[in-house]
Amino acid sequence: MVRPTFVITGIFAFVIIQTFALIFIYSRQKIDLSPSDEQNSKAHILILSSWRSGSSFVGQVFSQHPDVFYLMEPAWHLWVRMHQNSAKVLQMAVRDLVRSIFLCDMSVFDAYMSENRLVSNLFQWEVSRALCSPPTCDYYERTDLSNDTTCKKHCNMSKFFKIEEACKTYSHIVLKEVRFFDLKSLFPLLTDPSLNLKIIHLVRDPRAVIKSRDKSVYALLRDNRIVLDTNGKDIEQNKAEASNYEVMKEVCRSHIQIHETATKKAPDFLKQRYMMVRYEDVVRDPLNEILAMYKFADLSLTPKLKSYIYNITHGTGTGSAFKITSRNARSISQAWRTEVPFEKILKIQDICREAMNVLGYRLVETEHEQKLLSLDLVLPLRKYKFTWLSSDENSV
């Protein structure tokens, strides 16, 4: 009788062990077969702005963070390849491209770039610290602060597939885009269960923007044609300046639409996922404003980044278009007040009057007011009432 009892006990023990083994294997398979779980653990941040509004600087502040995988304006490739279309027509394609990148699926570039491509074929790749450090390139450590000139010299032959490999190793994926004009077009991304998306909406005084655009007028001609939907026709050189004002009209309209959608007509899924930032506030108080953006994005400010932010905003350089260098950021942000003719100021104020009122920029009535630098034209930002907050929270 002893032997059968022993056999039964052994069989029972085997069944128990096998059952636990199967449960363990099944649970591991569930984890492996659920990429959305991995994506949900990532933070996806979209810096939503317009041309010449300080977005390259804000992008760099995120790019240099060791937890961030950053790309600057990936939709540039889409607009170049499909330049015969309007911004409105391209908006859905841009949204789909952004979603794929947030999911680290870089095959989305197949439609817009050559087959045998390198990392260096990606627009402004060198400003991404993540593409200058492992696993993309071994020149910088992941905790280093990168330099775009040095990166271009040492990392320009990295294989394109390394971008996807690198993306998957970061907790935060940050994209900067200037090619969205309607917040509602992003609603599918905000409701996508595979994404954990937050939006930083960066704006700038249109009077400063037009000054910067005038310096880069020919570099922006293709983008102007797409925004204005001129069906691919070249804008005549003598009409280039006029096109700048027409584009600014569309940009200011879009800022109103985006902000009012987020503050006055906000659906529940926008709760705590939209933040408006004025460039002027950032350059006046860089550390506190960037700390607020980091907090919004669930990032911490390291001592190394704190020094970097101070140095990049308190330099002696005058700055140049499309390149981030150490400069006196606050002084440069006010340069329009002494350098732009008053007639131009009146024109841009007329075009963007409503947006300036919404965003908190004071209009000037005379040339004396324009040049009186002691007169503050950046008004205190009103505490907008968000529909998802209780009355107590709104009153804070």
| pLDDT tens digits, one per residue of 221-250 | 899 999 999 865 665 655 777 788 999 999
For residue 392, pLDDT beyond 80: no
For residue 161, pLDDT beyond 70: yes
DSSP letter at 44 equals E
Residue 29 lies in a domain: no
**Residue 345 class from Cβ within 10 Å (0-12 exposed, 13-18 middle, 19+ buried)?**
buried
Task: Give the total number of structural domains in the chain.
Answer: 1
Report residue 37 as tokens: 């779980």
- The percentage of residues in the chain with a pLDDT greater than 70, rounded to a whole number, is 80
Residue 109 lies in a domain: no
Residue 181 lies in a domain: yes
Give the per-residue pLDDT at 216.
84
Cβ-proximal residues to 396 (8 Å cutoff; 6+ apart), any chain: 383
pTM of the model: 0.84
Among the listed ranges 15-24, 265-274, 281-290, 325-334, which one has the minimum average pLDDT value? Answer: 15-24
| Residue 90 · residue 226 · CB < 8 Å | yes
Among the listed ranges 26-30, 78-82, 352-356, which one has the minimum average pLDDT value? Answer: 26-30
Residue 23 lies in a domain: no
pLDDT band at 271 (very low <50, low <70, confident <90, very high): confident
Rg from Cα positions in the chain:
25
For residue 8, pLDDT beyond 50: no
For residues 310 and 82, give the distance between their C-alpha atoms in angstroms, rounded to a whole number.
Answer: 40
| Cβ neighbours of 75 (radius 10 Å) | 23
Give the per-residue pLDDT at 215.
85
Mean pLDDT confidence for 128-136:
97
| Residue 270 · residue 262 · CB < 8 Å | yes
Cβ-proximal residues to 224 (8 Å cutoff; 6+ apart), any chain: 235, 240, 243, 244, 246, 247
User: How does pLDDT run across 92-126, given as a tens digit for each residue?
Assistant: 999 999 999 999 999 999 999 998 999 999 999 99
Report residue 333 as tokens: 């942000």
Residue 17 lies in a domain: no
Mean pLDDT of the chain: 85
The CATH number linked to 193 is: 3.40.50.300
CA distances from 263 to 14, 260, 266, 356 (A): 61, 5, 6, 16
Cβ-proximal residues to 15 (8 Å cutoff; 6+ apart), any chain: none
Residue 25 lies in a domain: no
Range of the domain at 317: 37-104+168-378
Residue 253 lies in a domain: yes
| Residue 142 · residue 128 · CB < 8 Å | no
Q: Please state the φ and ψ torsions of residue 293, each to the nearest 5 degrees.
A: -65, -40
Residue 158 lies in a domain: no
